[in-house]
Amino acid sequence: MEHNEKTRYNRFLLLVAGLGGLLYGVDVGIIAGALPYLEATSGLTAGQLSIVVAAVLLGSVISTLFAGVLADWMGRRLLMTLSGVLFVVSIPVIALSHSYEALVLGRLLQGISAGLIGVVVPLYLAECLSASSRGKGTGIFQWLLTLGIVTAAVVGMFFSIRVEEVAKLGDAARLLAFKDTAWRSIFWVSLPPGILFVIGSLMVAESPRWLFRRGKRDAAQAALLRSRTPEQASLELAEMEQAAAAEKSSTSAGAKTKESLLRRKYVIPFVLACVILACNQATGVNSIIGYNANILLQSGLSDVQAHWGYVLFTVVNFLMTIGGVLLVDRKGRKFLLSLGSAGIIASLLCTGVLFRRTEKLRVDSRAAVQSMVSADQKLTLLYDEKAADNLLAASGDMGDALRKRPTSLIVIYSCGDFRAATKVARSDDTAAKPIEITQESCLPANKVVAFFSNPFSNLDASRQAPLRIENALMSLVPSTHNGWLVAITLFVFMAFFAIGPGVCVWLALSELMPTRIRSNGMSIALLINQAVSTGIAATFLPTVGKYGYSTMFFAFAACTVVYFITAAVFLPETKGKTLEEIEAHFEGAKKNPGLATA
């Protein structure tokens, strides 16, 4: 009976962790479905809407920075509850709002909630779950995070279908009213998981390691006994006491502060976690997801095929994450990270080679397109066969090889410190709309968005800068066969990412760092992760514009080689080890020889 109770409690812990991941995913994805209807009915300006969107990112960055301090101050469980309450409160604030200020407040609360959840849930799981189920718990967090993104997309799609049905009735007033109902309903639908997460966080025990460091030994033992046998609980408690005694004995009476972050058991795991978090973004995963439709269009797929390709891409991510959850405690973190990064390298190289075959004939018609920019810094271009031939004719001998053949065009343009790109246009698309390029479409609407787009930018100066065509890239439209080959290589990329880095990165973040620095170290590592992501986003378009997609994919592959070496050579296997055993490994302890070679 006692064993069944502990099994049920461990499953409940996994459920609560999963709900945390679900909320994180909903936080990230919910605005995409609601934004078109919010834009149509709220009467907000483009600048105000951009702040509503950016408020989540701002809140997330701020709360990530302070999440570690808060987790140490108030405890892991209480911070989980607080993050859930913030999310729950944000929903009625947004859904019942009739003012710009209320929308921004609600979205800011959602961002703060997401930042706290991203730190505290993996932290809590690492400290509460037994060594044998820690990987599964963190994997479920990632799996339901992807489910949260998919759920947000499905909810948005459902309401888009309903809006289309109402639009067919031809009643403008009714359509406007339904759009207003639609964006509010999209937010209301995300409320139940938040409520369940709050209830669940109130029913679980506090982290035993946090309790122990607060001097509450009996409470720590009671927390351990909820998920462990008495023997396991006594063993882990003894390890905590041994680790605390070793830490205390190694610090001199007057040098505790100086010693705390300079020993190898702190420095090495912290650096390892930061490298893994940085390399996780350097695989290019966010850019490949964000520009997926554009990439597939350039590879030879039609618009409809490219969007179906993206749907399949997200399904692969979701399904393969399940595989990662099932394997992480069987095969181990080191194995999955090594396997995943190796597969990512191979798939990126294949994608790069496929693009290289077609990009060799690419023509840059920058000068011809720049001459079309009007005095008011605008450009409208219908890219059809006639326009393509005119641009190619102005490109000299290089353009002759592409004339009278289907081509694609993507224009990369800038105003001061900011860049943007048009959607890919194809000369054989008879239903295509004209390409519209303006200064407004390039510049962020406000300084908040500008900072996250380019932290070193000058928005005021950029608003005075002329519209500059950096590249007008014309490429031969590859065959549909080539397009699907590229799609398959991207599916393989996503599969290896999901089964390895997608699941294991949260474990590397939470398992590697010793208890003393875990919360603050996780916050810093996540900030590095966000900084690398921002840097890649800022350089992606200029690199693609100047050197092509092939160069970008080869660069991602080169960065992933660093990831593979780190995982295969320097990362110890943490499967089945308590956090104190992992800490002893980095200290170089000799008391258990098996740890040093793990």
Got the DSSP string for 196-260? HHHHHHHHSPPPHHHHHHTT-HHHHHHHHHTTS-HHHHHHHHHHHHHHHHHHHHHS-TT-HHHHT
Give the separation between CA 502 and CA 496, rounded to whole angstroms: 9
Average of pLDDT values for 439-460? 77
For residue 598, what pLDDT is reported?
Answer: 35
Average of pLDDT values for 330-340? 88
CA of 369: how far to CAs of 208, 309, 366, in Å?
Answer: 64, 31, 5
Domain C-terminal end among 205, 224, 239: 205
**Across-strand partners of 194?**
none
**Across-strand partners of 473?**
364, 410
Report the amino acid identity of residue 14. Answer: L
Residue with tokens 């978090």: 277
CA-based Rg of the chain, rounded to a whole angstrom?
26
For residue 597, what pLDDT is reported?
Answer: 37
For residue 251, what pLDDT is reported?
Answer: 54
Q: Which two tokens stand for residue 197?
A: 């997460």
Among 160-164, 191-195, 471-475, the minimum mean pLDDT is found in: 160-164
For residue 285, what pLDDT is reported?
Answer: 87
Domain C-terminal end among 157, 179, 205: 205
In tens, the pLDDT along 361-392 reads 788 888 889 989 988 888 998 888 888 888 88
Give the separation between CA 550 and CA 472, rounded to whole angstroms: 17
Q: Is the pLDDT of residue 418 over 80?
A: yes
Task: Kindly indicate the confidence band of residue 255, based on its pLDDT and cuts at 50, 70 and 90.
Answer: very low
The residues, ordered by sequence, that sit 6+ positions from 278 with a Cβ below 8 Å of its Cβ are 528, 529, 532
CATH of residue 19: 1.20.1250.20
Give the separation between CA 446 and CA 159, rounded to whole angstroms: 30
Q: Is residue 100 part of a domain?
A: yes
Q: Is residue 219 part of a domain?
A: no
For residue 539, what pLDDT is reported?
Answer: 74
In tens, the pLDDT along 212-242 reads 888 888 888 888 888 787 888 888 888 778 7
For residue 342, what pLDDT is reported?
Answer: 96
| Residue numbers of the domain that contains 4 | 1-205
For residue 538, what pLDDT is reported?
Answer: 67
Give the separation between CA 193 and CA 110, rounded to whole angstroms: 14
Average of pLDDT values for 461-482? 87
Q: How far is CA 440 from the centre of its chain?
A: 27
Q: Is residue 6 part of a domain?
A: yes
Give the separation between CA 400 and CA 397, rounded to whole angstroms: 5
Task: Kindly indicate the confidence band of residue 592, based on its pLDDT and cuts at 50, 70 and 90.
Answer: very low
Q: Is residue 335 part of a domain?
A: no
Continuous segment of H or E residues that includes residue 468: strand 468-476
Task: Kindly indicate the confidence band of residue 252, based on its pLDDT and cuts at 50, 70 and 90.
Answer: very low
Q: Which two tokens stand for residue 45?
A: 């300006």
Q: Do residues 79 and 67 touch, judged by C-beta distance below 8 A?
A: yes
Strand 435-438 versus strand 407-415 pairing type: unpaired
Domain C-terminal end among 189, 205, 221: 205
- For residues 455 and 388, which has the higher predicted lDDT (pLDDT)? 388
Among 89-93, 275-279, 582-586, the minimum mean pLDDT is found in: 582-586
Spell out the SS3 assignment of 125-147: HHHHCCCCCHHHHHHHHHHHHHH
Q: Is the pLDDT of residue 476 over 90?
A: no
For residue 36, what pLDDT is reported?
Answer: 73
Q: Is residue 239 part of a domain?
A: no
Q: Do residues 396 and 438 touch, judged by C-beta distance below 8 A?
A: no
Task: Kindly indicate the confidence band of residue 263, based on its pLDDT and cuts at 50, 70 and 90.
Answer: low
Q: Is the pLDDT of residue 491 over 90?
A: yes
For residue 345, what pLDDT is reported?
Answer: 97
In tens, the pLDDT along 169-182 reads 888 888 888 888 88
Q: Is the pLDDT of residue 593 over 70?
A: no
- For residues 85 and 285, which has the higher predicted lDDT (pLDDT)? 85
Q: Do residues 551 and 560 touch, judged by C-beta distance below 8 A?
A: no
Provide the percentage of residues in the chain whose pLDDT is more than 90.
15
Return the number of other C-beta atoms located less than 10 Å from residue 431's C-beta: 5
Q: Is the pLDDT of residue 133 over 80?
A: no
In tens, the pLDDT along 135-155 reads 777 778 778 888 887 777 777
Most confident of 370-384, 484-498, 503-517: 484-498
pTM: 0.72
Q: Is the pLDDT of residue 50 over 90?
A: no
Mean pLDDT over each residue of the chain, to the nearest integer: 81
CA of 170: how far to CAs of 175, 456, 507, in Å?
Answer: 8, 48, 53
Q: Which two tokens stand for residue 354?
A: 């496929």
Give the separation between CA 27 and CA 56, rounded to whole angstroms: 8
The residues, ordered by sequence, that sit 6+ positions from 173 with a Cβ below 8 Å of its Cβ are none
Average of pLDDT values for 327-346? 90
Q: Is residue 188 part of a domain?
A: yes
For residue 596, what pLDDT is reported?
Answer: 38
For residue 515, what pLDDT is reported?
Answer: 67
Phi, psi of 300 (to 5 degrees): 130, -5
Give the separation between CA 142 and CA 498, rounded to whole angstroms: 9
- For residues 360 and 185, which has the higher predicted lDDT (pLDDT)? 185
Most confident of 46-60, 490-504, 525-539: 490-504
Q: Do residues 341 and 275 touch, judged by C-beta distance below 8 A?
A: no
Task: Kindly indicate the confidence band of residue 310, based on its pLDDT and cuts at 50, 70 and 90.
Answer: confident
Q: Is the pLDDT of residue 258 over 50?
A: no
Q: Is residue 323 part of a domain?
A: no
Q: Is residue 519 part of a domain?
A: no
For residue 250, what pLDDT is reported?
Answer: 61
Quote the number of domains for the chain: 2
For residue 452, what pLDDT is reported?
Answer: 65
Q: Do residues 498 and 316 touch, judged by C-beta distance below 8 A?
A: yes
